Amino acid sequence: MVSTKVNLCGIELDNPIIPASGTFGFGYEFADLYDINRLGTFSFKGTTRDERFGNPTPRIAECESGMLNSVGLQNPGVEKVISHELPKLKECFNKKVMANVSGFSIEDYAYTCEKLNDQDQIGWFEVNISCPNVHGGGLAFGTNAKNAAEVTKAVKKVTTKPVFIKLSPNVTDITEIAKACEAEGADGLSLINTLLGMRIDLKTKKPILANKMGGFSGPAIKPVALRMVYQVYDAVKIPIIGMGGVETAEDVIEMMLAGATAVQVGAANLVNPYACRDIINMLPKTMEKYKINDLKDIIGGAHNG
């Protein structure tokens, strides 16, 4: 009997599969489709200090082997998440959930994390310093090692739970930023967020997205994600949550061999709402195919020899 269990900063997960923030809402939206308690956990919709409507439409553009999004962190704000979203989630999810937090200043990040810290349902924070779809925050912190370190330090001061910093691939050297976050106390790292991209409508001869540019995700970015997870695994000693183009159980194993302890599934949820369930179903059989008895044994396995 194979073991799919992994340990993420002291919390054991039944499997490493985590729906990525922004692709799974607040969880209960999927609970009518299947038992979401089968997931390792999930990262809920990116939450900010105040309510956000997000960016103007169009916000989505299809691409070959992927998609562009420029949603712009639409969410009800932290107070509503605490009073409304988390109680609804508690009715259908009995595991710890990952709180994804975004901000437009260091104070924003600290305020939102401090507010959420007392919520027993939350097991980890995932601090998004890498969103390419907002102005004046997010990506500005994630592309500068000093700024990334300052956000990490501020959040660690107000939280008692493990903090994962979500990193941007839109940088020259992702290991520099990873090491800066680790030095300021980050408990783990999530990578990668979306690549910055765009599409142009040939009929109008203008960008398809109202925001002109957006985050590119989907299977086309998997080689980039694998390369960055591999590099960061060599650079730091804290756990990594790998993501980017993951669609199958084979993709999960590949990401773990590169160095991921757990694996997020993003764009695939928007194409197939059963994607995470299907990956979990296939994982034991795929492990047997590749003669893997325990997933914990393969983390970083591609670095051996």
- List the catalytic residues: 131
Alpha-carbon distance of 146 to 176, in angstroms, equals: 10
Q: How many CA atoms lie within 13 A of 22 on its CB side?
A: 23
